[in-house]
Structure 1
């Protein structure tokens, strides 16, 4: 090979190498749809048993996400508080050690105070009023606020309308509450509500409550019918008063960090599946409540209605106390419901 040809080949090779070095690998980001998503496995935790509506939400959510992501997102459900109580789960989601959860509204209020507005006593007259607000502008606004504390609120499932149980006597008026030791969630609105009704409030986590009821260190508690039924509270609670004093959502949520790490198409799947799972749990609750009440009666529980107007009058002080904190939300909710 002559010298001129060799020089020409060397020059061509040098140019090719320089061009190759100038090419950069495409940037990889969580929202880049051009990057192949290899998949992820999430742990979803809640604190109640498999008969509860929380688990109904979780199972439906898992099914929808896994199907629509074609198996790229797997969800492993951990019920019964095996990964911790609700405060522990919320703190875990904040730092990314817990991926997902279905969490009662009450404990969330310790992180995002605005959610407690939904649980002011007798705010909603029925389920449809609650759904209209939660699925509308106000509900979405408060879900968005959860991002300020590194949580991703996805949708409002259902805890339901809460009712009072106790082991001592039938309660039909606020006066019947005097002296009863009632467990409430560790949430100021619930504490103030039951103090206004005359009870001795005992704030505690749910896992501790079951033991306290069995040992008789508290007289009663308040929860939706599905909880009373699924945890067989009739075994040590003789009286159920259908007070329907508060409607409680149960938020399907996840770590904001983990949500942001997903590509946009997977984020959309997560969002849509959460809303559908929430609506599914609501429907299951509605269909099952009458049967659950009937079974509680058959198992020996005495069920009574309460004087709603007397209860409403007794808790007026709660609205006065929280006027500065939640007054704007209360006004917007009442406007939305045409009151």
Structure 2
């Protein structure tokens, strides 16, 4: 790091010295700018939170009663001489990149992002800057995503086949972001859709934000037990290993994640199927986003950061890595937020 840097690494997280605030800090601080509401970026215990306006519902659903200030995308505020604005990251509902401007220098901290279209959140917006802080969760050339319509066609075919054999289809995915994207993309005419208790409040936040989701049921709301043998079940990964799953009988399980791109991950997880569906940019997407910023200096965070740094350096950019406490993907303690009735 050099003198005058707008963002530096501290034990609490990524810190803006002139502005005296943190971006997605992993330890409690007085002022935190939050890029999105996933649990590895938005943690409880900060004195004051600033986030993009569309994130308000999901942040409150996850963190409860917090002191939260929201900012519409693109609107600028000045704090201690630092001009700050939030711009769509395309990751999940309310996800944002943080643009900082001070004394003529412009930095952008991306948070997590994807460049592929997603009807459940605002699309990624390239922001020109001098320094770009980018994630690299899937920062290796092996990670290249298929179009969503192909993935959802595969999921619908799997669900319909299982339903024809009187088997429930259990689709495991993270309760915030991935679950709503899956619900938005599947064909609800195939059968009833049941969601886990960890997914329901986030669905409500998405609907309140104007995102279209099909009708869903809690398992306790199912009147006809035959529906349990032909439904699609959307639940967090932890539920697949819990007694909650037993009520669906001889169900087929699948996991929707970018990690399913690697052979063996599905088998090691014990799933019958794996669908490659990620809320992060793939390798071409990361390179596209970095190039679009025009930044000559790039700081790489969580994921395959060393490989990405080497690649960028070989192409003439000034690249380095920040060691952060963000997850390679979101591993949520979703079941802790549900009632005994929803998990037993």
- TM-score with structure 1 length normalisation? 0.30
| Higher gyration radius (CA) | 1
The structure showing larger relative contact order (alpha-carbon pairs under 8 Å, at least 6 residues apart) is 1
The structure with the largest helix share of the pair is: 1
- TM-score with structure 2 length normalisation? 0.30
